[in-house]
């Protein structure tokens, strides 16, 4: 490999590491005669699978030069860092060479904005176009759509990329204006609308013409920075919920704020990224997408932020003891989903299995229910554990948050109830 290209690779791979929205799902692109690579239906990401297998993307920036001076970004214009720029041919050749060596399974490509959004977007599209048409590359491609780019370029990008994404970064427009005064929500949401329109039009076109080219078959994603502003979890989740109402939006990613520009006084002085809060937001996001929860059930005016000590579903259950215990052998699927310790797969198995016999604690464990949590919120064939109403929510919380090796005094579980 050319030493100049290798040096650029080191610089631009380092600059790309702060973008977490690099996983994919929902697309299958099979290999064709004379081509190379394929994208599996389960998607690929820059991570490890459950079986320990590494699934890798070449996560890279076209350039880390940028005309913007966003307070939270390592690549901001005013930062004195090493800069580099790939030519289109260099990046295309690098991707093909890495794929042939079995280093990667696809490409995640973003870029700083140089000259103007359209100029940058046009170069990103050329990379994807050359990979598809010149090198017949059928592997996964994720392109970042540049805020402010024209609809024609976004539409062209959708013809060659499996997934497109536009990062919101800051969930509140006033905060965005303070930290990135050269940006606004309109420049971010317009490309999102272009992608959504392209996806919907393509669905209709493929109903009429079976072999019509696909447009961004894996949809779009976005990313929000958590902890850089005073926005509450309620603000963040309300925005996420509205984004998920769009048919093309597949994932919203949450990135704990990393203090890379400590000299900028507009930013909070955090010693470490708020990783626990980031994790709780992902859990809440899962409840919105798969567990039929609404935002105001997870966070509201009384509880604007997620509980960092316990997961959001358990927090909701402890705030609503009147909904429990749930009779596993009679309750509907939607209510079973709300029991802490029961996931989507377990809930479906419960509904299917109870048609043949009544379920007890042993069967629930075999199904995969986390009985350590669920036992306080359910009744079943022979379960005799005291429920959340008998113990009191605060007592259940203490039982479930006690550190390993530490015992809970039974006297702490007897709580006086207030007289009405």
Q: Same structural domain for residues 216 and 351?
A: no
Is the confidence at residue 327, as pLDDT, over 70? yes
Q: Same structural domain for residues 127 and 232?
A: yes
Strand partners, 252: 222
304 part of a folded domain: no
What DSSP state is assigned to residue 134?
I
Over the chain, what is the mean pLDDT?
85
420 part of a folded domain: no
306 part of a folded domain: no
Q: Is 95 helix (H, G, I), strand (E, B) or coil?
A: helix
| Highest mean pLDDT out of 139-143, 338-342, 403-407 | 338-342
Q: Same structural domain for residues 191 and 58?
A: yes
299 part of a folded domain: no
pLDDT band at 418 (very low <50, low <70, confident <90, very high): very low
Query: Among 261, 293, 325, which residue terminates a domain?
Result: 293
305 part of a folded domain: no
Asked if 302 and 107 count as a contact pair (C-beta separation under 8 A), the reply is: no
Query: Among 235, 265, 293, which residue terminates a domain?
Result: 293
> Which secondary-structure segment (H or E) carries 280?
helix 275-290
pLDDT band at 37 (very low <50, low <70, confident <90, very high): low
Strands 249-256 and 220-226: parallel
Assign residue 126 the CATH number of its domain. 3.20.20.70
DSSP string computed for 194-233 = HHHHHHHHHHHHHHH-TTPPPS-TT-EEEEEEESSSS--H
pLDDT band at 5 (very low <50, low <70, confident <90, very high): confident
Task: Report the pLDDT value the prediction gives residue 42, as an integer from 0 to 100.
Answer: 31
Q: Same structural domain for residues 190 and 283?
A: yes
Q: What is the distance between the alpha carbons of residues 88 and 412, in angstroms, rounded to a whole number? A: 66
300 part of a folded domain: no
350 part of a folded domain: yes
Q: Same structural domain for residues 185 and 212?
A: yes
Is the confidence at residue 340, as pLDDT, over 70? yes
Q: Same structural domain for residues 256 and 390?
A: no
Q: Same structural domain for residues 327 and 259?
A: no
What does pTM read for this prediction?
0.85
**Domain count across the chain:** 2
Q: What are the tens digits of pLDDT across the range 77-115?
A: 998 889 999 999 999 999 999 888 888 888 899 999 999
The boundaries of the domain holding residue 361 are: 312-413
Is the confidence at residue 312, as pLDDT, over 90? yes
pLDDT band at 15 (very low <50, low <70, confident <90, very high): confident
Helical spans, DSSP H, in 70-116: 88-100
| Highest mean pLDDT out of 67-76, 92-101, 237-246, 399-408 | 237-246
Q: What is the distance between the alpha carbons of residues 310 and 308, in angstroms, rounded to a whole number? A: 6
Q: Same structural domain for residues 278 and 403?
A: no
Q: Same structural domain for residues 200 and 69?
A: yes
Q: What are the tens digits of pLDDT across the range 181-232?
A: 888 899 889 999 999 999 999 999 988 888 888 999 988 999 999 998 989 9
Q: Same structural domain for residues 182 and 50?
A: yes
Residue carrying structure tokens 């207030």: 418
Residues in the chain: 420
Q: Same structural domain for residues 207 and 286?
A: yes
9 part of a folded domain: yes
Q: What is the distance between the alpha carbons of residues 379 and 386, in angstroms, rounded to a whole number? A: 9
Q: What are the tens digits of pLDDT across the range 355-406?
A: 999 999 999 999 999 999 999 999 988 766 788 888 889 999 999 998 766 6
Q: Same structural domain for residues 106 and 252?
A: yes
């Amino acid at each position: 490999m050319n030493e100049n290209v290798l040096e650029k690779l080191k610089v631009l791979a380092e600059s790309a590491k702060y973008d977490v929205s690099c996983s994919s799902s929902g697309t299958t692109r099979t290999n064709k005669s004379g081509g190379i690579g394929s994208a599996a239906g389960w998607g690929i990401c820059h991570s490890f699978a459950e079986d320990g297998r590494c699934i890798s993307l070449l996560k890279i920036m076209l350039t880390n030069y940028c005309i913007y001076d966003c307070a939270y970004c390592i690549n901001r214009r005013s930062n004195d860092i090493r800069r580099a720029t790939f030519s289109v041919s260099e990046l295309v050749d690098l991707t093909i060479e890495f794929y042939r060596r079995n280093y990667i399974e696809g490409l995640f490509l973003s870029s700083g904005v140089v000259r103007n959004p359209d100029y940058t977007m046009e170069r990103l599209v050329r990379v994807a176009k050359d990979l598809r048409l010149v090198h017949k590359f059928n592997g996964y491609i994720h392109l970042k759509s540049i805020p402010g780019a024209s609809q024609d370029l976004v539409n062209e990008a959708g013809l060659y990329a499996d997934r497109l994404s536009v990062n919101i970064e800051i969930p509140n427009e006033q905060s965005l204006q303070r930290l990135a005064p050269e940006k606004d929500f309109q420049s971010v949401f317009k490309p999102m609308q272009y992608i959504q329109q392209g996806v919907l039009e393509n669905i209709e076109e493929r109903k009429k013409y079976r072999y019509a080219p696909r447009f961004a078959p894996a949809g779009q994603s976005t990313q929000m920075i958590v902890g850089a502003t005073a926005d509450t979890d309620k603000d963040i989740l309300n925005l996420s919920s509205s984004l998920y109402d769009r048919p093309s939006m597949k994932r919203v990613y949450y990135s704990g704020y990393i203090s890379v520009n400590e000299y900028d006084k507009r930013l909070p002085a955090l010693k470490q990224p708020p990783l626990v809060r980031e994790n709780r937001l992902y859990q809440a996001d899962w409840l919105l997408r798969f567990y039929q929860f609404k935002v105001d059930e997870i966070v509201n005016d009384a509880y604007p932020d997620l509980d960092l000590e316990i997961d959001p579903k358990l927090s909701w259950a402890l705030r609503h003891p009147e909904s429990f215990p749930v009779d596993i052998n009679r309750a509907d699927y939607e209510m079973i989903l709300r029991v802490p310790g029961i996931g989507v797969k377990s809930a479906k198995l419960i509904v299917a299995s109870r048609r043949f016999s009544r379920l007890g604690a042993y069967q629930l464990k075999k199904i995969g229910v986390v009985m350590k949590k669920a036992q306080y919120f359910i009744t079943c064939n022979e379960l005799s554990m005291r429920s959340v109403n008998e113990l009191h929510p605060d007592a259940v919380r203490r039982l479930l948050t006690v550190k390993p090796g530490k015992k809970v005094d039974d006297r702490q579980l007897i709580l006086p109830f207030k007289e009405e």
